[in-house]
Structure 1
Amino acid sequence: MKISVIRTAGVIVGLGAILGGCASTPWPRSRAQIETPATPCQDFQVQIYFDRDSAEIPREGRSVLASAQAMAKGCQVKAVQVVGLADAVGAPGANLDLSRRRGDAVRKALGKAGFKQVVLDVTAAGEAGATTAMGAVQPLRRRADIRIEMGPWPRR
C-alpha cells in the first residue's frame, strides 16, 4: 500500500512540475498575437535574358514575369521601369533598335502577366555601358532590367 501511494505521489509531483512550466509562458490574449503579419510590399527588380539578336521573350523570361506577378499579389504596383539592353556586338544603331524592341516586348508581356493598370516607363540603352573602361565587352547584356515599385493599398 505504501509503495503505490509513493508512486502516485511521484507521478503527481512530476505532472505538477510539467504543468507549472507551461503556466509560466503566457497564452496569447488575441488572435493577432499568433498570426504572423504579411510581408510588406517592397520594390524589387528582375531581369529577362534574350537570345542573341532576338527580342522574343524566352520561356524562362515568361516564368520570371509570372514570378513577378506572384510577388506583387496583394500589393499596389505603383510603377514599372523597363530598360532594354544590348551587347556591344554589331552596329550601335542596330543595338539601340534591338534594345528598344526588347523593352517593348517586355512591356507587352507585362500587360499579359497582369500589370495592365500600371504606369510603365520603357527606355532603351542600346550598347551603352556594354564595355568596361578598359574596352572589355560586358557579358550578358542581352537582357531587359525590370524594376517594380510597390506599396500597400491605401486604407479606406
Structure 2
Amino acid sequence: MTIKIAMATLGAGLLLAGCASAPWKPTRASIETQPTACADFQVSIYFERDQAEVTREARSVLNSAGAMTRGCKIDKARVVGLADAVGAADVNMDLSRRRALSVTKALTRAGFGQVEFDVAAAGDAGATTGAGASAPLRRRADIFFEVSKP
C-alpha cells in the first residue's frame, strides 16, 4: 500500500513539474484569439415551462452569437420555436410561435437588426420519444445562422 501511495505521489509530482517548467514563455500571438471563421452555426435559447420570455442567460447566448459573427456577413438567421408535449397541441403551437418571435426581437436588440429572419414554429411535433415520454428540452428556440465572409 505504501508503495502505491509513493508511486502516485511521484507521478503527480512529475506531472506538476512538467507543467511548471515549460521551455518557452507564451507570446502574445500564441494566446490571442483567432479571427472568426465566418461559418454557419446554431445556438439554442431555453425557456421555462409555458414561458416565452428571453432570460438574461439567453441574452448572453445571443451576445456570444454576435461575437461569433463579428467581421462576417450574416446571410440569414432561421429561428424555430419549439414546445414540449405537455398540454394541447394548439396551445403548444402558439407558445412555440411566441418563443420564436421573442427570440427574433431579442436578436434585433442584440445588434442583428439588418439580418433577414426566417421565423417558424414547430409546436410539440416531435416532442415525445418512441415510448411516449415528453422531451422537456424542447422548451427552446433554435437559431441557425447562415454566415459568409464579407
- TM category (shorter chain) comes to 0.7 to 0.9
Map 1:5-154 onto structure 2 (within 5 A).
38-153=35-150
- Provide structure 2 residue ranges, at least 5 long, that are not aligned to the other structure: 1-32
Question: How many percent of aligned residue pairs carry the same amino acid?
Answer: 62
| Greater Rg by CA | 1
Structure 1 CA distance for aligned equivalents of residues 61 and 34 of structure 2: 26
AA at the equivalent of 1:151: S
Aligned to 1:51, what secondary structure does the other structure show?
coil
- CA 1:95/1:152 → structure 2, altered by over 3 Å: closer, same or farther? same
Residue of structure 2 equivalent to 1:4:
none
Structure 1: how far apart are the matches of 2:48 and 2:35? Answer: 37
CA-CA distance at 1:38 after TM superposition: 3.2
Distance 1:37 1:137, change over 3 A: closer
TM-score, length of structure 2 as denominator length = 0.75
User: 1:123-150: CA deviations, max 9, x gaps?
Assistant: 0000001002221212311100001110
Query: May I ask how many residue pairs the two structures share in their alignment?
Result: 118
In structure 2, how many angstroms separate the alpha carbons of the residues matched to 1:54 and 1:62?
15
Q: Secondary structure at the match of 1:78?
A: strand
C-alpha distance in 2 between matches for 1:100 and 1:110: 15
Report the secondary structure of 2:112's partner residue. Answer: coil
- Deviation, structure 1 residue 39: 4.1
Task: Note closer, same or farther for the CA distance 1:77–1:136 as it changes in structure 2 (3 Å cut).
Answer: same
Give me the CA root mean square deviation.
Answer: 1.4
